[in-house]
Structure 1
Amino acid sequence: MTEITREPMHRRLIDLQGYLRSDGLWEVEAELQDTKTYEIDLMERGRVPVGGFLHHMRFVLVVNESLEIIDTRAEMLATPYPDCNGAQRQYKELIGLRIRSGWLEEAKQVIGKQTGCTHLTELLPAMATAVIQTIRGYQIQQDRENKMARKGKELMLNSCYGFRHGGRAQIALWPDEEQ
């Protein structure tokens, strides 16, 4: 039998980092980088060398402890077309939205398809998870009376397999919850 080989062609790196700011707000910064293993010729940018950025973007959400978006910063450092940068300003429309169940549909609606960037919008679900992990993870570790575990129940219970009703996390965090 012939061994099947693979040749790398495209690489997308996404890095997310969460921060507690000195003013008490929280930031999650996402960075997206797309590269190719071959040179590409773009109509308006010209030749992009092997490993050069097809896309290079940074996107920051600033949120408060209630998960309300207070500010955003979108930065397009490399795009295939110069006018892609025009989509950056549309992400200010997220200000005032609250990360919660169903928020992504609302976010997509205020961003719009023709006024937004597919790649920045694709970062939103991962950024929302990073926001919750950044804020709630820190709060739970600082919570000596276990109030956050009880408070987080409505957000986390049945949100995934690990936090399913009757699972180990539910039993450990919310033992009074009916089985």
Structure 2
Amino acid sequence: MVKYLGVLLIALSLSACSSNNDWRTASREPAGIAPSPDEEKSAVIEFYAADAFSWRGWFAVHTWVAVKEANATKYTVYEVTGWRVKRGLPALSEYTTTTPDRYWFGAKPEKVLSVIGPRAETLIPQIRDAVKRYPWANEYTVFPGPNSNTFPTWIGLQVPELNLDMPFSAIGSGYADND
């Protein structure tokens, strides 16, 4: 009984410490760290990480990739989310936006990697090709993966010129080696 009470107290404590208890009202505003497509005319590649939603953010991050071709007015964002699979959709999604750096349900993103200019222009087609070949586009498993951290890591392995170094808390990134 005491053992279960301790586990309950820890769980309640962790959930009380989270500022992201309601995903419906958590911020999804732009963080202001992505180059504006109106101002940056060069090609851009951005990899982002933000604390995972709710108490999970104490241990793990959610990561995603954004690319913008030279002179493009919007970014294309690629990310993997588990809720899509639960709805019968592919885990991997693609959408366009002028703000690829939105808060991840209350958590401010940080740049993991940023490439701007001719090098980005050369690497974007390779990234797009790798996205098409992602082997777990319809799968999501929190641990050990494939998950939102497996996807950018896999892209980095397919395009080694990116020299992508994922955060330590990108749980599931090691699953990308299972290809």
TM-score by length of 2: 0.30
More strand by share: 1
Q: Greater Rg, structure 1 or structure 2?
A: 1
